[in-house]
Structure 1
Amino acid sequence: MAMGRLRALMSIGLWPLLLAVLVAGCAAPATNTGGGSGGETGGPEPAQGSPSGPASGSIPVGVIVSVTGAASTLGKPERDTLLMVAEEINAAGGIGGKKLELFVYDDESDPTKAVLALKKLLNEHKVVAVIGGTTSTSSLAMIPEIERAQVPFLSLASDMRIATPVKKWVFKVAQGDDLVVPKLLAYLQKRGIRNVAWMNSANDYGEGGKREFEAQAKRYGITAVGFATFKADDKSMVPQLTNLRAKRPEALLVYTTVPSGANVAQNARQLGYDIPILQSNGIANKAFIEQAKEAAEGVVFTAGKLLVADQLPDSDPQKSVLLAYRKAFEAKYNDPANTFGGHAWDAIQMLVAALKAGATEPAAIRDYLERNIQQFVGVTGVFTFTPEDHNGLREDALVLIEIRGGTWKLLEP
C-alpha cells in the first residue's frame, strides 16, 4: 500500500478500515492468514474490534464477500466499494457521531466458510446487519443462521430463492432469475428464434436460471433442444457443446458467471458455433471480455445499466447515480467499476439510510428497510421494498447489452 494512502487513513481515524485494507488488500486479493479470528474461514482478519464486540462509539456491520476463489471478479469490487463508501461516511463525521465499522471476511467463494464467518460476525462482533453473499450458494447457506439470529441481511446474489418466498430478515439487491430469464426469452421471441440449447453452471446460480427458463420458456414459444451443465471451475466445456451442436439449436443460452462464461464462449467459437450466444447478468464485468477475448464479440446478455451508463438517455432516473458511482470507484481504485460493486453500493447506501434515520438496532433496521425503501434510486435499479417483496426491482432494472469491438453497446432498454 502506498504510504500516502496509509497516512490518509490514519489521519481520519479509520483504524477499522485500515486493518481491513492492510489484510484484505486493495491492490491484491486477500489471502489466508492461517490464524487469528479470521483464520477459521480461510479469509482475512476482520476489519477491527475484539472478540468481545465492536469498538466503543461505532456501528458494527458485517461483510462476507468472495475476494478470492471462483467468484473473486465479483467479490473484490464488492469489498472495495463497501470500504470506499464507509471511508467517505466516516471522513464526513460518521453517523450520528459514530463511525461505521466494517468487519470484512473473505469466504473464498466457499459457502461453508461463509457460514463460519457469519457466526463470528454475529457472536463475537455483535454486528447490527450483514452485507454479502457474493454467490447465491453462500447467500442461501447463510440464511438459516441469519433468521435464527434475527439480524438483517442484504444479499448481493441473484438466486430468486434468497428472497422468494419472503423471509423476514433477508433482503436481496441483485436482479433475480425471474427478471433476467424473461428478458432473454423476449429477445429471442422478437427475433423468431424458437429452438435453443441451454447450458448452466452446476451451482445454485446456474440451476436457479434453469428452473426459471423451464418455467417461462413455453410462454415465449421457446423450446430447449438440449440441456448441459458444467462445474463453475471447469476449463473446457467442449464435450457438452459438441453434443448440443448436433441438435442444431438456433441459439445458445448460457447461465453462469466469470470465468466459466468466458470458457464457454471460447469453446463454442472454437467448435464453429455461428449462432447467437446469449448469457446472463453473471458475466457483467470487464473480466469476461478480457478472458473470452475475440470470442466475446457478439455475445448478448442482460444486466443492470452501469456498463452502458453513458448511453442512457438523460431522462433515465438512474443515470446520474450510475455515473457518480463509476467516477468515484474508478478514481479511487483505477479499475473499471462493475455491476457487482454496484450491488454493494446499493446495499450499504440503503443500510446507511436506515442508520441515519435512527434505526441502529437489528429489528429497527429491518423495519426501516421494509417500510421506507421506496423508489430508492440505486446502481442496480429503483428499489421499493414491501412486506411482500424483499427484492423490490422491476423489469426496468435490466437492459440488453451486446459486446462489440471489445466493449459494451446498449442493444435495447
Structure 2
Amino acid sequence: MNKVMGLLLGLALLASSAMAADNIKLGAFFDLSGRGAFIGTPTKLVAEMVVDKINTAGGIHGKMLELKIADTEADPAKTASIAKKYIYKDKVAAIIGPTLTDTGMNVKQVVDKGRTPIFMTVGGDPVIMGGKFGPTKWVFKSPQRSSIAVERLFIYLKSKGLTKVALLAAADGFGKDGSGWMDKLAPKYGIEIVARESFGTRDTDMTVQLTKVKNSHPQALLAWTIGPAGSILAKNKVQLGIDIPLFQCHGLPDPKYIELAGTASEGDRMPATKLMVADELPDSDPQKPVIQEFIRLYKEKGYDKQFPINTHSGYAWDAIMIVSNAIKKVGTDPETLRNEIETTTNYIGVSGIYNISSDDHNGLDVDSMVMVQVKNGKFVLAE
C-alpha cells in the first residue's frame, strides 16, 4: 500500500513538474520597498491581477502564465542582478518593470546582451532613447513618455495664456528628463521658463527654492517629481502665500497626493491618464469599457482599500497584456516576440491606445492624456 501511495505521489510530482515546465514565465520586478514602493507595491498587485485574469480564461493556448516577482528596492545594481537571474536562470520569455527611471536605465545593457524583451513601467523617456542613453532594441515602456506629458501640459498652458513659468524639478533621472523636455519643447508652444530650481526627492522643505522662483514673477509654477516631494511643494507654496497656479507632472495624479498635501492641493492641475476621470469619459471613448473593467476587477480584489486607483495603476496591466497578445500570436522565441511587440497596433489599454513602432517603443500620443485638477478633494477634468 505504501509503495502504491509512494508511486502515486511520485507520478503527481512528475506531472506537476511537467506542467510547471510548460508554463510561460514572465519576470516582474518593482519597488516593493524603497522610495518607489508607493508605486511598486500596487503595480505588483495589478501584475498578479492581470495574470490571474489571463490564466482564468485558459492562459495562452492552454499554457499558464507564471509570474516571477522580485523587489528592486530602488537599487539599480540589484535591479540589474535580478534581470540577469530572470534571463539566464529562470529563462523568462519577457520581463515586466521596474518602477523607477534610474533603475530602468541600469538594465538596458543587461536585456540587450541577454536578448530578452522588457516592458518597463517607468515614466522617464531615456529608457527608450538610444545614443548616449544606451541600447533600446529590447526595451519598451507602458507609461506615457515625459515628452508627451510635457506637450499635454504646454498645450493647456498656452490655451490659458500662461506663458511665463518657473520650473522646480527633482534632481533624479525622472526630474532631469522632464526638465530637458521642457527646455526642448517650450519654444514650440511659446512658453518661457523664467526661473528654475532643483530639489532632492527626499527633501522635506522647498521654501528656499519657491522663494527664489517667486521673485522672477512667473504666471505659473511647474513641478516635475513623483512621491511626497510634490505634496510638500504644494504645502510650502500655500505657506508662503504664493498666489499663482501650481502644475504637477503626470506622475502625481494619485489620491495620496491630495491626502499628503491636504487643502493645499485644491486647484492644482496636472496631466494624467484617463483612468483618473473614468466617470467623466464619454461613452464614445473606446478606452472607457476597458478602464471600467479594470476598475471593477481592481475593486473586486479589494486593492482600492489600501491603494486607491491612481494614474500609475494601469501600467502593468497594459505591459502584460501587450506582451501576452504578442506571445499568443508568435510564441516565445525572443527575436520573434520582440518584433511582434514592436508592431503592436491599436491596442486599447487602460493608459491609452498603443501604436508601437521601431521609432517609438511606447506608442502613446498626446491624446492619451487629459488635464485634471483637484476640486473638493477629488480629481476631475480640468476646467
Question: Scaled by the length of structure 2, what TM-score is found?
Answer: 0.90
Match of 2:122 among 135, 157, 161: 157
CA contact (8 A) 2:330 2:340 kept: no
The aligned counterpart of 1:105 is 70
Counterpart AA for 2:361:
H
1:61 aligns with 2:33: no
Aligned with residue 350 of structure 1, among 322, 332, 356: 322
Higher-Rg member (1/2)? 2
Aligned residue pairs total 360
Aligned mates of 2:303, 2:72 — CA distance in 1: 25
Question: SS at 1:399's partner residue?
Answer: strand
Aligned partner of 1:408 in structure 2 is: 379
CA–CA distance in 2 between the matches of 1:181 and 1:410? 17
Q: Determine the structure 2 residue equivalent to 1:259.
A: 228
Structure 1 residues 362 and 333, CA, compared in 2 at 3 Å: closer, same or farther? farther
Q: Is the 8 A contact 1:201 1:207 kept in 2?
A: yes
State the shift of 1:144 in Å: 0.8
| Structure 2 unaligned blocks of 5 or more | 1-15
The secondary structure found in structure 2 opposite 1:185 is helix
Superposed counterparts of 1:10-409, under 5 Å: 55-165=20-130, 167-335=136-304, 336-371=308-343, 373-409=344-380
Q: Given that residues 346 and 380 in structure 1 are in contact (C-alpha distance below 8 angstroms), is that contact kept between their aligned partners in structure 2?
A: yes
Q: How far apart are residue 114 of structure 1 and its match?
A: 1.2
Amino acid at match of 1:409: V
TM-score relative to the length of structure 1: 0.84
Q: Is the 8 A contact 1:77 1:337 kept in 2?
A: no
CA contact (8 A) 1:70 1:259 kept: no
CA contact (8 A) 2:252 2:311 kept: no
Fraction of identical pairs, as percent: 36
One-letter code of the match for 1:308?
V
CA distance in 2, matches of 1:92, 1:175: 29
Shift of 1:339: 2.2
SS in 1 for 2:183: helix
Distance in 1 separating the partners of 2:157 and 2:54: 44
Code of the residue aligned with 1:220 in structure 2: it is Y
d(CA) in 1 for partners of 2:53 and 2:144? 26
CA distance in 1, matches of 2:310, 2:194: 33
3-state SS of the aligned residue for 2:203? coil
Q: CA RMSD in A?
A: 1.7
- The one-letter code sitting in structure 2 at the alignment partner of 1:390 is H
Query: Is residue 359–residue 368 contact of structure 1 (8 Å, CA) maintained in 2?
Result: no
Q: Whole-Å Cα distance in 1 between the matches of residues 261 and 169 of structure 2?
A: 17
What is the DSSP-based 3-state SS (H/G/I as helix, E as strand, rest coil) of the residue aligned with 1:151? coil
